[in-house]
Chain A
Amino acid sequence: MSGRWPDFARRWLVFVVFLGLWELVTRAVGNAYFPPPSRIASATLDTWFTATGMTDDILPSLGRMLAGWAIAVAIGVVLGVALGRSPVATDYVSPMFFFARAVPATLLVPVFLVAFGIGPKMEIVTVTFGAVWPVLLNTIDGSRSVDDVQAETVRAFRIPRAQWVFGVVLPTALPKIFAGMRLALSLAIILMVVSELMGGSSNGIGYRLVNAQGLFQFPQMWAWIVLVSVLGYVANLVLTAAERRALSWHPGFRAEADLLEA
């Protein structure tokens, strides 16, 4: 592994060269659908940084995504720990879980629309439905992996239930839970955009995206696309950092080395 600074510099150098090439190619080709990055950058001024762009579109979208994701994590972890420690109960419900996980959540948007109407409720439900499965299934898997000796020690010493769950089961399952949360977050971003594209929303990033398409404002449209990308990148960065902090003590945790950098 090279030092931190050269590494950092190399990344940005490549990135700047990439942007330069992109600029040159798009300028040379002159296709309206693919505006040069400089025009996209200036379009961010009248998309992200307008008076209403932040408060009416970006923050509501972000809020719905995080709400849906947080609900999915809460349901997934609580249910997952309960089921992970009772294999018999898991047998009864597993066919539905594996089936539901395979369903593309976006297909249920019409049902959620009828059930919850147009608006944030339906969008949050869509995000939650899609994001809950990786957390739930990973938590079940993680909770199962508690060492038998540990489980029996806890039983022999009559350790209280809360201490068993918070002191033994959850810490053991944590690496798996984090992996599920990361997968769920990337799904949540997709579903946030999709629910706004499909659900007849009247604000939000997805709505602005279709709106720009309808008005043939391609630089603005690209600005929204780039924003979704940036959100995905930042969200993953934050969660990875949290994971590294929370799990540095864990014997089973191997910091996911940057695969590309090795």
Chain B
Amino acid sequence: MRVALRRLAGLVVFLALWEAISRLGVLPSTVVPPASTVLARFFGLFADPKFVPDAVSTLLSWLIALAIAVGIAVPLGVLLGSVRWLRLVVSPVVEFLRPLPAVALIPLVILVLGSGAQTKIALAAFTSVWPVLFNTIYAVSEIDRQLLETARVFRTPPLRRLFLVVLPSIAPFTLTGVRLSAAISLVVLVTTEYLTLGTIGVGQFVYFWGTSAGKMDMVLAAVVFLGLVGYLVNLALLGVQRRWVGWAASGGAV
């Protein structure tokens, strides 16, 4: 209770300071519009006929990209985690591909795939694969040997073993990977939208209001929107982790 009150007080003071800095002209209000203006714009976004499809496009692409990444990375991670020789063969290639930031591929992928949603989905999915893949491989190596051996002794069929032993054991780590991926893929999504002329999405909305119109209140309203969404999604994933896979003491780092 105390903590919540302090947080609320901190937020109020922050907003008041922001308002004052802008109103008193410490920072020009063309660069940092007052908090009240930005908040009004933020609530206005939900009735903005241009912003709503932008937001839907970004959030839907986000979901699809994460689903694709999980669909690729979890089976691949389980496979690489359980078959040693395959892991040894594949790992140098993975190490070579992983440091390749998706943002460096934006200009290329725009040319190859065009300006539609497939471009940003492909780039975001590419980024999202790595954290999930690495966490899954790690999780497979951490599965309790006794569990695996018990399952083997009782001749549990492989499929049953997968669903009753392997997947529940790796879920906490894999979810941590998904959480990391969600944050990074959102950056890749909005950056791609920003750089793709004639597309839709929150990134393009920011590009339009920021670069062509110079309206920072609209830009910051969109920033508040995505910041809030990102924060809530992270919170929701943490909640899922705690509620449904709470048997693991921890789900990895950060």
A residues sitting closer than 8 Å to B (CB atoms) are 10-12, 14-15, 18, 33, 88, 91-96, 98-100, 102-111, 113-115, 130, 134, 137-138, 179, 183, 186, 189-190, 193-194, 197-198, 206, 209-210, 212-213, 218, 221-222, 224-225, 228-230, 232-233, 236, 258-262
Given contact pairs A110-B216, A111-B210, A95 touches B99 in the complex (Cβ within 8 A): no
B residues 1-45 touching A (CB-CB < 8 Å)? 2-3, 6-11, 13-14, 27, 30-32
B94–A221 contact, CB under 8 A?
no
B227–A100 contact, CB under 8 A?
yes
A183–B93 contact, CB under 8 A?
no
B237 → A minimal CB distance (Å): 12
Cβ–Cβ < 8 Å partners of A179 in chain B: 253-254
B101–A190 contact, CB under 8 A?
yes
User: Contact partner of B103 among A12, A190, A224, CB < 8 A?
Assistant: A190
B198 → A minimal CB distance (Å): 16
User: Contact partner of B190 among A15, A104, A213, CB < 8 A?
Assistant: A104
Cβ–Cβ < 8 Å partners of A213 in chain B: 107-108, 110-111
Q: How far is the CA of A52 from the CA of B118 in the complex (A)?
A: 36
User: Contact partner of B7 among A18, A95, A236, CB < 8 A?
Assistant: A95
At the interface, yes or no: B69 with Cβ under 8 Å from chain A?
A: no
Q: How far is the CA of A94 from the CA of B5 in the complex (A)?
A: 12
Q: What mask results when residues 103 to 147 of chain B are scored 1 for a CB within 8 Å of chain A, else 0?
A: 111111011100000000000000000000010011001000000
Given contact pairs A33-B108, A110-B207, A92 touches B100 in the complex (Cβ within 8 A): no
B10–A94 contact, CB under 8 A?
yes
Q: A114-B30, A213-B110 are in contact. List 20 more A-B contacts (CB 8 A).
A: A11-B92, A14-B89, A14-B92, A15-B93, A15-B96, A100-B227, A103-B223, A104-B191, A104-B230, A107-B190, A107-B203, A108-B223, A110-B210, A113-B210, A115-B32, A222-B108, A224-B104, A232-B99, A259-B141, A260-B87
Nearest 9 pairs of A and B residues by beta carbon: A110-B210, A102-B230, A232-B99, A92-B10, A260-B91, A213-B107, A91-B6, A103-B227, A102-B231
